[in-house]
Amino acid sequence: MREIIFDTETTGFDPRSGDRLVEIGCVELVDRRETGVTFHAYFNPERDMPAAAEAVHGLSIQFLSDKPLFATRVDELIEFLGDAPLVAHNAAFDFGFVNAELARAGRPALDMTRMCCTVQMARKLHPGAKHSLDALCTRYGIDRSHRVKHGALLDAELLAHLYIEMTGGRQIGLGLAASSASITVATAPASAASRGPDRPFREPRPHMAPAAELARHAEFVAGLNQPLWLDTV
């Protein structure tokens, strides 16, 4: 199955108030494995860059001023995404910005049924814990030492590693389920009839305490001073 892990960088938090998409990074997975195929683009937002946003991702308006408009590369992006499920961290945010840009370019919005949110996944897997990308990378042992600032492609690559771990790890797609029957047969204890001459029969060992130990335990319990369990009797 083909899936796309993606992330965006923007000028702010709300496309309805005029904030724009300035970067998108996409990573292709097939059967929960990275294929090495990516899509990455910067966009000229046609507006200023608030200092708070620049502090997060480091993208200045000077850097973005000669980058293409979203509409210039929209068809490339749509072709890359195809009809694959789309995975993002706090996905409603990313979907909101991409759909706002698609609307400006006169293209249909992304179907929200394609959305998979790793924040929602993390809340179910780890209730009460921190669910930021940094916190989850630490939890799953994913190296993020090279992440100085946010970057759409870098964050998408980290999220791809995280998503793989959150959905079963690297064992996904290795065919373990198909071979489970043979594993069961191979590891099952040999029956008495199948034992070879080098495997002498041994009587099962008893697993109950002997009478003497049971008597000592009863004597010990009887000597306890106001045991807590008697408070409920």
DSSP string spanning 123-158?
Answer: HHHSTTS--SHHHHHHHTT---TT-SS--HHHHHHH
DSSP 8-state secondary structure symbol assigned to residue 179: T
Question: Residue 194's pLDDT is what?
Answer: 45
d(CA 7, CA 155): 6
**Topology of the domain covering 2-171:** Nucleotidyltransferase; domain 5 (3.30.420)
Question: Residue 95's pLDDT is what?
Answer: 98
Each residue's pLDDT tens digit, 181-221: 333 333 444 444 445 556 677 776 666 777 888 888 888 87
Which pair of structure tokens corresponds to residue 216?
């000592």
d(CA 98, CA 25): 12
Alpha helices in 105-232 (DSSP H): 118-125, 133-139, 152-166, 180-187, 211-222
Question: Residue 187's pLDDT is what?
Answer: 40
d(CA 113, CA 223): 65
**Strand (E) or helix (H) holding 34:** strand 33-42
Q: Give me the sign of the Cα torsion angle 109, 113, 114, 119.
A: positive
Question: Residue 128's pLDDT is what?
Answer: 94
- Intervals of the chain under pLDDT 70: 148, 170-199, 204-207, 229-233
Whether the pTM exceeds 0.75: the reply is no
Mention every residue, 6+ apart, whose C-beta is less than 8 A from residue 64: 22, 42, 43, 44, 45, 49
What is the set of active-site residues? 150
Question: Residue 198's pLDDT is what?
Answer: 65
Mention every residue, 6+ apart, whose C-beta is less than 8 A from residue 145: none
Phi-psi region of 66 (alpha: psi -120 to 50; beta: other; left: phi over 0): alpha
Cα distances (Å, whole numbers) of residue 131 to 15, 96, 119, 125: 24, 20, 6, 10
What are the phi and psi torsion angles at 30 (to 5°)? -130, 120
Question: Residue 176's pLDDT is what?
Answer: 44
